[in-house]
A and B are shown apart, each in its own frame.
Chain A
Amino acid sequence: MVWSDFERFGRLWDPWADFERMRRALYRWTTAPFAEFPLVNVWASGEEAIVTTEIPGVDPQSIDISVTGKTLTIRGSRDPEELRDGESYHRRERWTGQFTKTIEMPFAIEAGTVEAKFSKGVLRIIAPRAEAEKPKKISVKSD
């Protein structure tokens, strides 16, 4: 059975697509890529930071999160499909194996109260700001 990627053909040639491909190929081999796998988004308020990352298909039991001061580390893994005799890949694009991601948080984290939720392949970590680091409100007295 032959598969063809519909999106690659049958459309107008996009000159920028080639540039994008070259740029990716170039950065793959340099020591400082844009960001390490898995990609994260970090949201912050005065009280807490929220980290989200897309790691579909990972067993939630295998996700390991650790915090030291301002550094948050996420570890996990995903196993490849097990193929039996006579089964073969037509395409293999999905990642497998282990990953480790270290994120520099905008402030120190209270390690004991970090919460994490894994839903629809998206990991969401709620990391409260360390008590000592919380901004102090200074009230202004009037005479």
Chain B
Amino acid sequence: MASTTKDVQKKEAETPEKGELTRERKVYSPAVDIVERKDDIVVIADMPGVDEKSVDITLQKNILTIYGRVEPDVPEKHTLSLSEYGIGDYQRVFTLTDEVDRERIEATVKNGVVRIVLPKADIVKTKKISVKAEA
């Protein structure tokens, strides 16, 4: 069954970046796919409960930080009868080793999935060197 390969539990982030939060809440580490394409790198993160207004993406020097705030939506006058997951913010931090064209970074959010496209700077794009046969 396909579901046996899924990592079921939400992982808590080890320590929120930039020290502790003033608000007492959990911070989870979102599952991430990173795809390298010819001209860019795509970072895709699962952050359910996050929309375009509640996600912060920063690139400081070569540290890429993704932070998503989630406001818990607790139904009124109901009691929790089954609780399998916790609700909290999301954070993930990556170190980029190569140059990224900062001006052209684009990020979108759809159905709780954050997608960041980091275009490679021209200097690091792989150049194909053609080999000529000696005459």
How far is it, in angstroms, between the C-alpha of A8 and the C-alpha of B98 when the chains are bound?
A: 20
Q: Does B8 sit at the interface, judged by CB under 8 A? A: yes
**Chain B interface residue count: which class?**
35 or more
- Residue in A39, A41, A88, A99 whose beta carbon sits within 8 Å of that of B36 in the complex: A88
Contact across chains for A35 and B6 when beta carbons are under 8 A apart = no
Q: Which residues of B contact A100 (CB under 8 A)?
A: 3
Nearest CB on A from B89, distance (A): 14
A39 engages B112 (CB within 8 Å): no
A80 → B minimal CB distance (Å):
9
Residues of B in contact with A (beta carbons under 8 Å apart): 2-3, 5-10, 13-15, 17, 29, 31-38, 41, 44, 46-51, 63, 73-75, 77-85, 92-98, 110-113, 124
- Residues in B with CB closer than 8 Å to A43 are 74-75, 78-81
- B2→A94 contact, CB < 8 A: no
Q: Which residue of B lies closest to A98 (CB)?
A: B2
Is A91 interfacial (CB-CB < 8 Å)?
yes
Are the CB atoms of B35 and A37 closer together than 8 Å?
A: no
Q: Would you list 30 pairs from A and B whose C-beta atoms are within 8 A, ordered by A residue? A: A1-B96, A1-B124, A3-B96, A4-B94, A7-B92, A14-B14, A34-B9, A35-B84, A37-B8, A39-B10, A41-B83, A42-B80, A42-B81, A42-B83, A43-B81, A44-B78, A44-B79, A45-B79, A49-B81, A52-B73, A54-B112, A81-B35, A81-B44, A83-B35, A88-B35, A89-B35, A93-B32, A95-B7, A120-B112, A121-B49
Number of A-B contacts (CB under 8 A): 167
Q: How far is the CA of A11 from the CA of B85 in the complex (A)?
A: 26
* Distance between Cα atoms of A56 and B44 in the complex (Å): 11
